[in-house]
Chains A and B, each alone.
Chain A
Amino acid sequence: MIRLAGRGVSRGRVAAEAVVSAQPFGFWQGIDPLTGLVIDRRHDAFGQSLAGKVFVFPYGRGSTGTPGVFLEAVRNGCAPAALVNVVSEPIVAICAILADELLGVTIPVVDALAAEVLARIPTGARVTVDGVAGTIIVE
């Protein structure tokens, strides 16, 4: 069991299976909001489901329409359960804040973790994310 301390970006606490990517990710044209599957063919998580998972990726990129797609996934029950980043750019942070404030769904977000440490977390590991303490625990 490894405990990593970063920064809490959005509140909540959840334990779930991890999907780990080494590449930046954009939710717009990156996730199918009806299924939670990654649809970006250029991405290393292509074809995996993010629904209910702890999604670990270095940082967000892409369209300013991102929260639109993200909240549609939340509404359909197939958004990630938590997000873990090296750096959560504002567009990623805001997805979780909006899910909480607009839809009442808490998706903890923790960032400020080293890329090489995150890359060593195996996909499928059980990860606990605490968005208030700013920590993650990898089992």
Chain B
Amino acid sequence: MELTAEDRSQLAGDQGEPVALAMRVLTRLGDVYGAERFIPITRAHVVGSSYQICGEAGIAIYERLVAQGARVRVTTTLDPGSIDFDHWRQFAMPEHVAQRQVRLKELLEAMGVVPTWNCTPYYFANVPVFNERVAWSESSAVVFVNSVIGARTNRLAAYVDLCAALTGKMPDFGLYRDEARRGTHLFLLEPGLEERFGMQLYPTLGYLVGQRVGDGVPVIEGLERTPSLDAFKLLGAAMASTGSVAMYHVVGHTPEAPTREAALGGGTPRATWRIDAEEIARAVEERISTAPPGAVDLVALGCPHASLDQLATYARLIAGRRVADSTRLWISTSFMVAELAERAGYLPVLRQAGAEIIVGTCVVNAPLAGWGFRVMATDAGKFAYYAPANLGVKILFLTTEECIEAAVTGQGRRRPA
């Protein structure tokens, strides 16, 4: 990489050891991936926030950085932790994890981060605009800001994101550059899928696309209506779970894809697939679901963290009803959205019905395997992909409406098509 005088001064330690360390890491990364220079970044979102992910190594690394005076220099939000700080006893999260997670929190806060503890920093608190260069981890948030907002970030990883936050820069490679943002694979959708499948289309489509493209940039053509923020969120989160997708285009609906040609950057796709209703229906029942319809003992919603709109929907669907004794209904969100939902009256309705709100973490981040759940119903592709490993459950993938019915009756059933 070609370094400026300021880069060299930072590498030499003129701004302290944490900045020098971060510059060494970023320079080596840039050299491996062919970057020629550093570019400034304006925001960061870091995933080294969970004790289940970083463990004692994370605490040791952060203790050293804090002792050396590390401070972030851009707005830096935090991914979910491993516990709900206010309700971990309610969910029987182990005490030693809670204690170490609190230690991680103290260390991260000492470096000047904004403690959002959410996977949806793009709702508010950390919202980039089109073309803004940011340094993001959390695969579902990376794919959202690249694809839906048109901000630019690579799919960063734990500690690298913090290196970017400490220096305010990243090596210029990958999705910071136009050429890497061009579509590589084309998916042509049969008309009418949105009417037939509603919101369930998006996580299902994302799940299928991610499995096929690996780390490519898929281009989806054939959606007639612009997906909602929640639909985009579910689409990208599923895609970034089954694949390493960091960006997609939806022709006519995402900012860098006014046309198929623009989305492909004038190039030819490496592969083209057609997706029809039968394939979506089969994926819902056979590929994403690992359990048949029947008894469910956990219904988990809010992946990525539920939006205010989603909490309003859940409250409307369950108002005046009651979660079955044989089942738990757990909804994960951030404390900011929870606070608004409290004031808007949604959380009181949900609590009245027996739903429990998990704040600042979720069923794939928190140590909850001790509950011994057997079958989990969910409406989210990312939960469906990761929950079996963390909880030991089988998955019944349902629509949001079917999930609420499952919570109330204890039985997961699909409505006839």
Give the residues in chain A near B157, CB-CB below 8 Å.
Answer: 64-67, 90-91, 94-95
**Complex interface: chain A residues within 8 A of B50 (CB):** 65, 68
Establish whether residues B28 and A68, one from each chain, have CB atoms under 8 Å apart when the complex forms. no
Set of chain A residues within 8 Å of B174, measured between Cβ atoms: 90
- Pairs across A and B, CB under 8 Å, 10 listed: A28-B53, A63-B47, A64-B47, A65-B47, A65-B53, A66-B157, A67-B159, A75-B56, A94-B159, A103-B61
Q: A64-B47, A64-B138 known; A103 and B57 CB under 8 Å? A: yes
- B383: shortest Cβ distance to chain A, in Å? 14
Indicate whether A102 reaches chain B with its CB closer than 8 angstroms. Answer: yes
Give the dominant DSSP class at B's interface.
Answer: helix
Given contacts A65-B158, A90-B174, A98-B159, is CB(A72)–CB(B139) below 8 Å? no
**A101 part of interface (Cβ distance < 8 Å):** yes
Asked whether, in the complex, the Cβ of B244 is within 8 Å of the Cβ of A75, the reply is no
A77-114 vs B, Cβ < 8 Å mask (1 yes, 0 no)? 00000000000111101110110011100000000000
- Asked if B373 is at the interface (CB within 8 A of a chain A CB), the reply is no
Cα distance, A59 to B211, chains bound together (Å):
15
* B156 adjacent to chain A (CB < 8 Å): yes
Q: CB within 8 Å of A: which residues of B?
A: 21, 24-25, 28-29, 32-33, 47-48, 50, 53-58, 60-61, 137-139, 142, 154-161, 174, 214-215, 243-244, 386, 389-390
With a CB–CB cut-off of 8 A, which chain B residues contact A123?
none
CB-defined contacts of A68 to chain B, threshold 8 Å: 47-48, 50, 53-55, 57-58, 158-159
Kindly list chain A residues whose C-beta atoms are within 8 Å of the C-beta of B56: 72, 75
A75 / chain B contacts, CB cutoff of 8 Å: 55-57, 60
CB pair B160–A101 under 8 Å, yes or no, is no
| Contacting residues, chain B, for A63 (C-beta < 8 A) | 47, 53, 139
Contact, CB under 8 Å: B58 / A72: yes
Q: Is the CB of A97 within 8 A of B25?
A: yes
Question: Which residues of the partner chain A approach B156 to less than 8 Å between Cβ atoms?
Answer: 64
User: What residues on B are CB-neighbors of A62 within 8 Å?
Assistant: 244
Question: Given A29-B389, A66-B158, are A98 and B55 neighbors across the interface (CB < 8 Å)?
Answer: no
Number of residue pairs A-B, CB distance < 8 angstroms: 110
Given contacts A64-B139, A102-B21, A102-B159, contact A97 B28 (CB under 8 A): yes
Contact check, A67 vs B32: say whether CB atoms are below 8 A apart: no
Query: Chain B: which residue is nearest A92 at the CB level?
Result: B157
CA distance A33 to B386 in the complex (A): 18
Q: How far is A68 from B60 in the complex, measured between Cα atoms in Å? A: 12
Q: CA separation between A65 and B386, bound complex, in Å?
A: 13
Residues on B with C-beta less than 8 A from A72 are 54-58
Q: How far is the CB of A30 from chain B (nearest CB, A)?
A: 9
Residues on the B chain within 8 Å of A89, using CB:
215, 244
Nearest Cβ distance between residue A102 and chain B, in whole angstroms? Answer: 5
Q: Nearest 8 CB-CB pairs, A to B?
A: A68-B53, A72-B55, A65-B53, A68-B54, A75-B57, A64-B137, A68-B158, A71-B57
The answer to whether B61 and A102 have CB atoms under 8 Å apart is yes
Tell me the bound Cα distance from A102 to B57 in angstroms.
Answer: 10
CA distance in complex: A95, B158 (Å): 9
Q: Are A67 and B21 also in contact (CB < 8 A) when A28-B53, A90-B155 are?
A: no
Most B CB contacts (10 A, CB to CB) among A9, A74, A90, A101 go to: A90
